[in-house]
A and B are shown apart, each in its own frame.
Chain A
Amino acid sequence: MTRGIRLWLVAAGGAGLAALLVAACLDLPRFGGDRHPYGDRAVRAALARHTANTVASVNFDQRAFDTLGEMTILFAAVLGCVVLLRQTRDEHRARPAPEPVARPVRRYALLVLPVALLTGLYVIAHGQLSPGGGFQGGVVAATALHLLYLGADYRALERVRPIGLYEVGDAIAACAYLVTGLAGLIGGTAFLANTLLPYGTFNTLSSGGTVPLLNAAIGMEVACAVVVLLARFLDQAVEIESLTGIKTPTDKERGK
């Protein structure tokens, strides 16, 4: 198929899709309307279980099974990346030489690093009370760790980041989520049902039954997953070189 025909096809399909979607939009309930049957019920259920952040309650209590699915996608995606970006036989590692970092950059990065890391952990820990939770805090904490790459150099980052440990951590967190779910089953109710622990006092750290546990498991999982992902991509971008690319200059020299 030539480029011209394909563009015409895209234009025709896009126009049809646009017409249908616009027609659907004009028929949707008014933006900002007052009828939210699911939302109202979710809020009531969250308050009944003493979880101040309704979104966390939906994620880790009312729709915990759905989050298990999301976590599986995340785990599978990370696994796929690790397999795809591994070092193959025709590649080798070239250690990058440490490069001098501008002083203000170093100072700023090393200053922000602990603050950002702490913010990430705080966001994870307070997931069931204030906006935040395992998903957001995990990403913040994991990206914060990589400020070390800006502030110091790649080797310093590698020293505080034994990838194997984070890969194990990822798997353990996934297992912890499952085990918490199974504990509900053993406790006599249902898989991932939030009936195991007392709901606690509203608006305190230990409120919400199993919500904080599942939240922490997701936080660990996401943080480990993002660290592993970034590590693999950094490895490919900075260290791993293909052998064929290195061989050619020597061949050339031999030719001289």
Chain B
Amino acid sequence: MTALMHALPYLVAVWVLLIGCYGLATSRNLIHAVGCLSVCQAATYVLLLAVGYRDDATAPVFSDIQPGSRPVVDPVVQALALTDVVVGATVTALLLALVVQVAKRHGTLDPDELSELRG
């Protein structure tokens, strides 16, 4: 159990990233591809929070505990993940706006058909 716990969270992050990349590469629909990209993004949050975790620690919020009474997990990685969750959503929105434009101009969302159109 402990040997597994040493690296399992990191390996899950790797798996989520790779499966997201696989989905991106094989997607036949641009909307689906954007969804896969948000899966890839989720991998970075898992990795960041796994790096910052500390055994038997509590959340880095001192409104209800005495400072110094208990160990806390790393707040820096949490701040990184937190801003990226929200900003990533707006970037997803920008990508979806581009997808809507592609559908308007070319009438298809299949990446293969789109590359044929250009060639």
Q: In the complex, is A directly touching B at CB under 8 Å?
A: yes
Binding site for B on A (CB under 8 A): 3, 6-7, 10, 14, 17-18, 21-22, 25-26, 28-34, 36, 38-39, 42-43, 46-47, 52-55, 57-59, 63, 66-67, 70, 73-74, 77-78, 80-81, 84-85, 129-131, 133, 135-136, 138-139, 203, 222, 225-226, 229, 232-233, 236, 242
Binding site for A on B (CB under 8 A): 5-11, 14, 17-18, 21-22, 25-26, 50-55, 59-63, 67, 71-79, 82-87, 89-91, 93-94, 96-98, 100-101, 104, 112
**Contact A34 B54, CB 8 Å, known A28-B10, A242-B104:** yes
Contacting A77 at CB < 8 Å: which of B5, B17, B73, B91? B91
Could you write out 6 A-B pairs with CB less than 8 Å apart?
A3-B112, A28-B10, A31-B6, A34-B71, A138-B86, A139-B89
Contact B82 A59 (CB under 8 A): yes
Contact B100 A33 (CB under 8 A): no
Contacting A54 at CB < 8 Å: which of B17, B60, B101, B104? B60
Q: Which residues of B contact A22 (CB under 8 A)?
A: 11, 14
Contact A32 B54 (CB under 8 A): yes
CB-based nearest B residue for A60:
B79
Q: Which residues of B contact A58 (CB under 8 A)?
A: 75-76, 78-79
Q: How far is the CB of A14 from chain B (nearest CB, A)?
A: 6
Contact A73 B91 (CB under 8 A): yes
